[in-house]
């Protein structure tokens, strides 16, 4: 968290508008179970906690630059995930395997959805999108640890059926740059963040690479009370780890009227 704070401070010190943030760091089966110095399971730390902390640190600048966007790469692994309110750090899971990966990706989507809802309530012109790239032969697959049973098939399947990164990045680029998406950061039911990427049964086909949109499949992703609870607990834990003063959405109230939607 110290390195994330230092990075955010450098960005803010530039004094430039910030109208796009893309969170794309990720871990997948790449090391045995381990806790970070802040007490987070390492996959949770990278896939969720680092993104949430960075987003909050930059949030006021993003709101000021509106219309702006926040895009985060999630994963179809959310289908198998579970939000464990008693252990959002993942410290009690005792593994950094597949289930931990899926839990971290679902947690990220749930938090992003609540972020979008709260931004809209505050009148901020910020669109939040989640994306899943499909099964991609990126550098991520070169780092899998073969001590995980899924590591070997995941590694070799990436060389046979996975998408080239050229196709894998398109859902993220679409969410980040397409002009038609401005103002569309809520789903049709006005809850949650839109989710872009190839339809799940077709996630390794390049023909369906970026414009498909649909809800997350995990039912927990659509639980409004759970989203609110995750938001509150995430902020509490971040302040416990990083110290008081972690930004929330209060900065939205200080944005000039010209920077807000009606």
Domain boundaries, the chain: 1-6+13-245
On whether the 1-6+13-245 domain is CATH 3.40.50.720, my answer is: yes
pLDDT digits (tens, 9 = 90+) for 106-144: 999 999 999 999 998 888 999 999 998 888 888 888 999
Q: How far is CA 175 from the centre of its chain?
A: 13
- pLDDT, residue 261, reads 41
What percentage of the chain reaches a pLDDT higher than 70? 89
**CA 254, CA 15: separation in Å to the nearest integer?**
17
Q: Catalytic residues, which ones?
A: 101
**CA 23, CA 132: separation in Å to the nearest integer?**
12
pTM score, whole prediction: 0.91
Q: State yes or no: pLDDT of 161 exceeds 90.
A: no
DSSP for 26-62, written as a single string:
---S-SSS-B-TTS-BHHHIIIIIHHHHHHHHHHHHH
211 vs 208, residue with greater confidence: 211
Read off the tokens for 194: 């839109």
């Amino acid at each position: 968290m110290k390195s994330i704070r230092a990075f955010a401070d450098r960005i803010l010190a530039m004094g430039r508008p910030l109208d796009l943030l893309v969170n794309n760091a990720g871990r997948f089966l790449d090391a045995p179970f381990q806790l970070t110095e802040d007490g987070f399971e390492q996959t949770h730390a990278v896939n969720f906690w680092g993104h949430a902390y960075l987003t909050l640190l930059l949030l006021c600048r993003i709101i000021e630059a509106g219309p702006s966007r926040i895009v985060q790469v999630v994963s179809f692994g959310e289908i198998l995930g579970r939000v464990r309110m008693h252990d959002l750090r993942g410290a009690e899971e005792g593994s950094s395997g597949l289930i931990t990966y899926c839990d971290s990706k679902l947690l990220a989507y749930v938090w992003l959805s609540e972020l979008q809802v709260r931004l809209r309530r505050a009148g901020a012109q910020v669109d939040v999108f989640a994306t899943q790239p499909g099964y991609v032969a990126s550098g991520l697959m070169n780092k899998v640890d073969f001590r995980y049973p899924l590591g070997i098939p995941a590694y070799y399947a990436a060389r046979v059926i996975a998408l080239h990164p050229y196709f894998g990045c398109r859902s993220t680029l679409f969410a980040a740059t397409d002009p038609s998406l401005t103002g569309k950061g809520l789903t049709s039911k006005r809850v949650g963040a839109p989710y872009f990427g190839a339809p799940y049964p077709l996630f390794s086909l390049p023909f369906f690479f970026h414009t498909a949109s649909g809800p997350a499949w995990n039912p927990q992703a659509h639980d409004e009370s759970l989203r609110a609870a995750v938001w509150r607990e995430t902020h509490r834990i971040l302040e416990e780890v990083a110290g008081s003063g972690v930004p929330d959405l209060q900065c939205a109230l200080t944005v000039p009227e010209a920077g807000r939607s009606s």
